Structure 1
């Protein structure tokens, strides 16, 4: 089952690359991608899919395409194109770090380290975390953190291992601790964002940007937490991160509908037409795979998590994948971007495609992502 899903997914990835050379898929409100330049926070996922496809198949086409895309990431960093945000790990872990790990390209390693420095520059001493969006003096976002950023911390952990420079590790750890304390609730649910006084560091309030309301649990934010804290445990071996990732995974699983694929927010009223977010389920599946590798063999949660993983992935393949849709540009249907903002509430999400493929190749051949 996994092999067939992977092979059809790789056919889609290759067809997209042939039909749109040198371009990157951006989210649209039509049932397709909008193809353009490397200038969005999501562009690393496309390159990451090339590397996953190369590792799985050995086809030189994927390696060559991914390597050619590295130039766009270098140009973007050198010219600071749309990089006033925390998503630098999403961009450069899946492009530069991936290429260094797979091919040993020294230029890719150097680019990844420069990207890590760019992410470090977004750490704010005033409130002890990485600022999500905007400039340091931004009146709205100057003191804001975001749960998504947990997935960018592996770039810093990796930079620490490569260089021995402890400042990378220290900043990643400080941000993880701040996220743990202020973004995760006692029942294992999560805030999307949290606000601090940017100068004094005082905690102000939890909130959301893309969720249903400030106190709700946005399903994709929850999934970032599952995978993000699991990865922080991988690098730090701090047991509290492992426990947090498991609690967040249990909350996610326990709030799934009958087909095991999440709605866009766990607190929205479910009725006909309520948007799903298949991408959140794909991310959580990857997080569970990470947890299963890291957890002790006698952990009582293993069977529960493994069974949930299989139900989620079987549903994504059977009910949400595009394997039987001719010329589809995405890999899984019914992802959502920004429901309240009216931006692609039901469409292909390139990050959903990436995590769907990452989960599949890890389940079939043990190939991890590049975090």
Structure 2
């Protein structure tokens, strides 16, 4: 459902939640949070970044602590779609032609992905964030062509015996290659398949996405609805062999970003299917995350790291969840729960805006994200996907405040 006008009005006050805090935890009420001011900050920081990034066909990925310049990657890196996606969002937020020009330039770097064999599941992250946003905002038919070709490429990783998309079609530690592995991150990439099935692609793409979400729902979660990062299946029988972590603290821990992918992913799957089973599941995977958050609403990188409170935080997970909660609130039949979701999202965005912005430290938007702590990689970094979901969440919140009925990021139909 969409939020009623009277409920939107009610959002201007803060409900103090029992349990684990609300927007008041960050000291900011909804009426005090200024999304336009934060979007202006994002535009200013990104303008500075554009002046420093070499024009060499590579794309920003991260900035280590204490440094100012982006480390860059080529189009094959799984994060390559977030930078052009951020530029498209700033074009949407400002209408400035410089954002459209730069978004188009960096988006074009990713075109080879549409005509190359799939090297992993991340094509949604890469191509939908870039070309998907670009098509939504410009209706450029060349963008649509790339999206449809890429969806067909992603579909080549679907194993009908298992019912999910293969995440890593190669040797990865602890994944029992050549058995079939699926990681929670893959939930986000289903959006490309849903979109393609409704915009000229095969209906089978829709069926693959639903199958993946259903099988993942049955095999990827513990009784409390916290998620495993990875599940390994027998590639011939579809039987679950084991459920493990790759980037979390342990096989039994709740890795913060993994749970954020589940919250965002099942919210999106409900939007695309309208199946209440997925909406119910989105609520359940959200509750376990919100119930365990610290008071400031920014998670530690893993909820079960014994080093807490001296463990690293993960701003990227907070940004993903803030964006997801805003959309989930619009589908929530319980008005009090819908309000709680918005309050939580505002609290997260407020805390990120007050205490996690990069400002004069570097040209990213946010500090203090954690990439792959077990591998010692990107710990306490600025990381591009945190910036992407931060801008997305700010835009979604602005739309909600303006009374828009849909917060959907990628709808083109």
Q: Same fold (TM over 0.5)?
A: yes
Residue 310 (structure 1) aligns with: 346
Structure 1, unaligned stretches of length 5 or more? Answer: none
> What SS class does the counterpart of residue 243 from structure 2 fall into?
strand
1:167-316 aligned at under 5 Å gives the runs 167-271=204-308, 273-296=310-333, 298-316=334-352
CA RMSD of aligned residues (A): 2.0
1:356-367 aligned at under 5 Å gives the runs 356-366=390-400
Structure 2, unaligned stretches of length 5 or more? Answer: 1-33, 401-406
Contact kept? 1:14, 1:62, Cα under 8 Å: no
Change (3 A) 1:28 1:133: farther
Residue 37 (structure 1) aligns with: 74
Q: How many pairs align?
A: 366
Does residue 27 of structure 1 match 2:27?
no
Contact kept? 1:283, 1:352, Cα under 8 Å: yes
1:161 deviates by 0.5
1:139 deviates by 4.6
Cα distance in 1, alignment partners of residues 307 and 287 from structure 2 = 20
Contact kept? 2:330, 2:338, Cα under 8 Å: no
Cα distance in 1, alignment partners of residues 179 and 125 from structure 2 = 21
> TM-score when scaled to structure 1?
0.93
> Given the alignment, which residue of 339, 342, 367 partners 2:373?
339
Cα distance in 1, alignment partners of residues 137 and 121 from structure 2 = 25
Contact kept? 1:156, 1:168, Cα under 8 Å: yes
Q: In the TM superposition, what whole-angstrom CA distance separates every residue of 1:106-150 from its partner, at most 9, and x where no partner exists?
A: 111000001101110000123121011124998536311111111
Cα distance in 2, alignment partners of residues 7 and 352 from structure 1 = 17
Change (3 A) 1:163 1:77: closer
Residue 124 (structure 1) aligns with: 159
Q: In the TM superposition, what whole-angstrom CA distance separates every residue of 1:276-326 from its partner, at most 9, and x where no partner exists?
A: 111001101111011012223x4442122222122111111111112xx32
Residue 16 (structure 1) aligns with: 49
1:329 deviates by 2.2
Cα distance in 2, alignment partners of residues 103 and 79 from structure 1 = 25
Residue 95 (structure 2) aligns with: 58
Cα distance in 2, alignment partners of residues 256 and 271 from structure 1 = 12
> What SS class does the counterpart of residue 26 from structure 1 fall into?
strand
Change (3 A) 1:136 1:332: closer
